[in-house]
Amino acid sequence: MFALTLRGARTSLVVGFAAAAISTGLAAVVGAFAGYAGGALDRGLMWGTDVLLILPPLLVVAVVRPGGGMAALAPSLAAFMWMVTARAVRAETLSLRGREYVLAARFVGVRAPRALVRHVLPQLASLLAVDASLNVGIAIVAESGLSYLGLGVRPPDVSLGVLIADGGGVGGAFPWPFGFAAVLLVVIVLAVNLVGDGLRDVFDPESR
């Protein structure tokens, strides 16, 4: 049973990290493009983002995911996680673009791509790192939630959600598989969240 729990945890972690990476990457690309380019591209991208924000996430994930398989689960989780970050990245890019030191660079003749790399991206990096680490927690919870509902990882694969679902129905006496899996899940999410908050404190200019 111990082995089973560990296997479940590994699945959850892999899916969680992959989903977080995909989601943050997508958010960075969409947000930075929209923010730096502005104009019609910006409006179009942000409209798309808003539409996706309105759709119920469960529907997106459950429906987009064709068949089983863990490979497809991570991208579909990411599909509903990236929108809020994308908006944050866009807002940050917009404000960075107007920052005086970015202006100063442009005024000495630095070309746009170099200005983006030297002056805008380093400031975005902290936001993205923090976001990615917090997304890992969200993705892990989302994955186990879906699996719990029978919409995520399906047997023979196991994840923490599957184990919790199998053990949770018993009720009354304390069911061991549920206990193990639940505690492990909470500990993982706590740990990931702590790392995220720690990163935020490190990057936050106020705390320096």
Partner 1 sequence: MAAFLLRRLANRLALGALAVSLGYLLAAAALDPRAGYEGRVPRPPDAVVDARLTALNLNDRTPLVDRYGRWAAGILHGDFGRTSDGRPVGGELWRRLGVSLRLLTVGAVLGSVLGVLVGAYAAMRRGRAADRLISSGSYLLVAVPVFVLAVLLQIAAGAANDAMGVRVFQWVGETTPGESGFFDRVQHSVLPTITIGLTQFALYSRYQRALMLDVLHADFVRTARAKGLRRRSALLRHGLRTAVAPMAAYFAYASGLLLLGGVFTEKVFGWHGIGEWLVDSIGRGDVNVVAAIGCLAACGVSSAGLVSDVLHGVLDPRVRAAV
Partner 2 sequence: MTVLRATDLTVRYARDVAALRGVDLSVEANEVLGIVGESGSGKSTLALALMGLLPEKARVDGSVRLGARELLGRSDAQLSRIRGREMSMVFQDAMSALTPVRTVGDQIAEAVRVHSRVGRAAARARAAELLGLVGVASRRAGAYPHELSGGMRQRVLIAMAIANEPSVLIADEPTASLDVTVQGQVMDVLRAVKEASGAAIVLISHDLGVVAGLADRVMVMRAGRMVESGPVEQIYRAPTAPDTVELLRSIPRLDEPSVRESRDGSVVLEVDGLVKHYRTRRRGGTVRAVDGIAFDVREGETLALVGESGCGKTTALMEIMRLSRPEKGRISVLGEDTARLNAARRRALRQAVQIVFQDSRSSLNPRMRVADILAEPLITHGTPVARARERVSELLESVGLEPGHERRYPHSLSGGERQRVGIARALALEPRLLLLDEPIAALDASSRADVMNLVEERLDMACLFVAHDLATVHRLAHRVAVMHLGRIVEIGPVDDVYGSPAHPYTRALLDAVPIPDPVLARRRDRVVLRGEPPDLMESPAGCRFRSRCPRYAMLTATERSLCEEHDPAMLPGTDRMVACHHPLVGVGTGR
Give rounded-to-5 percent helix, strand, coil for the chain: 85, 0, 15
Residue from 172, 205, 207, 208 in contact with partner 1 (CB under 8 A): 172
Query: In the set 37, 55, 117, 202, which binds partner 1 (CB under 8 A)?
Result: 55
Contact 82, 21 (CB under 8 A): no
Write the secondary structure of 3-47 as one string of H (helix), E (strand) and C (coil): HHHHHHHHHHHHHHHHHHHHHHHHHHHHHHHHHHHCHHHHHHHHH
Segment 77 to 96, residues that bind partner 1, using CB under 8 A: 84
Work out how close the CB of 109 gets to partner 1 at its nearest, in angstroms, rounded to a whole number.
Answer: 35
57 contacts partner 1 (rule: CB under 8 A) = yes
Number of chain positions touching partner 1 (CB under 8 A): 39
Q: What is the rounded distance in angstroms from the CA atom of residue 47 to the CA atom of residue 60?
A: 17
In the complex, minimum distance from the CB of residue 122 to partner 2, in angstroms, rounded to a whole number = 5
Q: How many CB atoms lie within 10 A of CB 1?
A: 11
- Return the one option of partner 1, partner 2, none that residue 101 interacts with (CB less than 5 to 8 A, by type): partner 2
* Smallest separation (angstroms) from partner 2 to the CB of 171: 49
Which residue matches tokens 């047997």?
155
Nearer to partner 1 by C-beta: 11 or 102? 11
Q: How far apart are CA 54 and CA 67, in angstroms?
A: 24
Partner from partner 2, partner 1, none contacting 55, C-beta within 5 to 8 A by type: partner 1
Q: Of residues 5, 12, 24, 144, which one binds partner 1 by CB under 8 A? A: 144
Find out whether the peptide bond into 156 is cis, omega within 30 degrees of 0: yes
Lay out the site mask for partner 2 across 87-106 (x = CB under 8 A, - = otherwise). Answer: ------------xxx-xxx-
Q: Is 206 in the site for partner 2 (CB under 8 A)?
A: no
